[in-house]
Each structure stands twice: as C-alpha cells, then as structure tokens.
Amino acid sequence: MRTRTEPYPDLSVGVRLALAVLVVAAALVVAPIGSADTLGQNSAAEPRLLRIGTGGSQGTYFPVGSLIASALTENTTACPPDTRCGVPRLLAVAQLSNGSVSNVEAISAGILEAGLVQADVAHWAYSGSGIFEGKRSHTGLRALASLYQENIHVVVGRDSGIRAIRDLEDRRVSLDEPGSGTLVDARIILEAFGLSEDTIRPVYIKAQFAAERLRVNSVDAFFIVAGFPTKSVMELTTSGDAMLVPIARQTAKAIHRRYPFLAPSKIPALTYPGVPEIDTVAVAAQLLVSASLPNDLVYQITRELWTKRTRDMLVNGHPKGKDIRLESAAEGIAIPLHPGAMRYYLERRGSSSGG
C-alpha cells in the first residue's frame, strides 16, 4: 500500500502565515487604500488592506503570495527594537483565486489591489491582444516586479500509457479552471501538437482536484503551470502514481517564436522522484498592482519586497524563493512599471552606480 508523504513541510509555513493574517483582517477595521498620493490621509489607527490574488492552494502562487503578504504586513510584536518590519499600517492578505486571468480581472475591477500574474497574460491583458482580443484592455495594470520562472508541467498517470503530448488525444485531461493562466498555456501547447479541446476529453478543475482524480484513475493527465518543485506533482511522483511528459525542444522553440513570453526550458533530473530531465517551456511570474495605488505606498511595498528580511522569508519558506532576486526584477516586463516601483529601482540604480 502506498503512503502519502509531505515532501517539503516548510510550505505549510506560508499557508499558516496567510491564515493568521486572514484572522487578523477579520478582527480589524481596515481602511481601503485610496488613490491619494500621500499616506497621511488615513488614520494611524486604521490599517490599510492589500489583497494579493494568487492561485490554487497546490500551486506555487499561493505559498509564495502568502510569504510576500506576511513580509509586507507591519509586524510590531516580533520585530527587534528600532527595526522596521513590514510597511507601516499595511495589512497584506494572500487570497486563493483561479489564477492569472482571474487576478487581472479582479485588479481591474477593484476587487484586488495586487496579484501574481503570468507575463504573457499581463501583456495580453494590458494591450488587449492574444486571449483578450476584442475585449476591453486592462490599462489600469502596473508591474511591480518579475519574480521567478514558472514551468509547464504535463502530468500523466504512470500506468496511463501516455508518453508524449500527442498521446493525449481522446484522453481525459484537466486544463485547469477558466480564469487560469494554465488553461491559456495548455491550449497553446495542445495547438502546437495538432490537438485541441475538441480532440481530447477536457476537464476544467484546479490542479489539486485533478491530482486526486489522477490518483484514482478518473483523469489521465493534467496541466499545471508552476515553479518547480510544485506540491501536487511532488506528492504524485513520490507515491509513484505519476510521471511527466516532455514538450519536445524543437516544438518549444516554435512555440517561443509565436509566443515570445513562452521560452524553452528544462525541469532538471530528479527534481521529482524518479523523473528524468524534462524539456518544457517556461513563463515569468510577475507581481502586478493597480495603477490607482498611491505612489508612496507602492514605493514602500517595493522597498520592503527587496529587504534582506523578506528575502530570508522567501528563501526559507519555499523552494522558489531563492529565484526571487532584485537583479532579475525587471526581466520580461512588458507593461508599465508603477511609478512608485520605478522610483525605488531608479534609487537603487543610482546608489549602485555611486550617483
């Protein structure tokens, strides 16, 4: 009998922090973040709420977003004397969501102030192109930072007989929920191999539910776009229930020529137990905010994101944390930076150049 294991229990740290913040949020009267460019207009007694859209609980967005929210939230009780921990009067909360597309729409609607979004989705949403062709452009989006690379995982049952993408034809394949970046990219991958939702038996559920169905053979495969290692895939490969199939490098290059935000990539051997090196494609995960957020607030948020304290929390809290670096914060950004973030990066550039 196979037993389920928790491959890296440190992921629960981010989840516990997020739940703790949610409890605090429910107990406090939280002032909304207005569009004024000064911070003094809110009472010092009223914390301001920053809602960060993430993704499903089994992906990378939620644990990473939870760690970021915890780092940004003002912490006066566990902070050394005369030390600033978090953004003054800010209460940041990581919220579960359907993913990138959902986060973009929620930021534009004022339901969220920030969100983790794939670089391709961010570009299409802002420019009204790609999957947003013929829809309104989300011109109120602004970039704060590029965080890390996400890889497309195509997870299949070990005994399914699926060894290549084309083998997905007429099989039960979960593409994630509508509103997710994974669904967008899954359609692109299928198209590159001459497949579509009409040639497979599509299922539209989040990865954690798809993983459970794959374990009991009620789906044959599922797509998930996430930084590696990702929890649901780790659990399935550790138990011996699943493996990954590659996106052939030549096809990955062709995808990149058509969709520049999707670049050929590899998942290194033994990232997941028993899985060799896998060719795939990757896309950058970015932190976006609403253009209506006050410049000074976004400056403080950006500054806090790149402190040593925040980096230590990210590195110790999630395997992808080590890839979130100031040096790559501007990579792959194709929408405008928020002026508050721009101010911080210009100051850092001037400081590093001795200006």
Q: In the prediction, which pLDDT does 32 show?
A: 53
| End-to-end CA, the chain | 64
Domains of the chain: 11-148+285-352 (3.40.190.10), 150-283 (3.40.190.10)
Let me know: does 318 contact 324? Beta carbons within 8 Å.
no
Reported for 84-89, long-range contacts at CB under 8 A and 24+ positions apart, including other chains, are 85/309, 86/304, 87/297, 87/300, 87/301, 87/304, 88/39, 88/300, 89/39, 89/42, 89/44, 89/46, 89/47, 89/48
Q: In the prediction, which pLDDT does 226 show?
A: 87
Q: CA distances (Å), 271 to each of 34, 218, 238, 290, 322, in order? A: 44, 26, 11, 35, 15
Per-residue pLDDT of the chain (355 residues; tens, 9 = 90+): 333 333 333 333 333 333 333 333 433 335 456 544 434 444 455 789 999 999 988 788 999 999 999 999 998 887 877 778 999 999 999 999 988 999 999 999 999 999 999 998 999 999 998 888 888 899 999 999 999 999 999 999 999 999 999 999 999 999 998 878 889 899 999 999 999 999 999 999 998 899 999 999 999 999 999 888 888 999 999 999 999 999 999 999 999 888 888 889 999 999 999 999 999 999 999 999 999 999 999 999 999 999 999 999 999 999 889 999 999 998 888 899 999 999 999 999 877 665 4
pLDDT digits (tens, 9 = 90+) for 190-243: 999 999 999 999 999 998 899 999 999 999 999 999 888 888 999 999 999 999
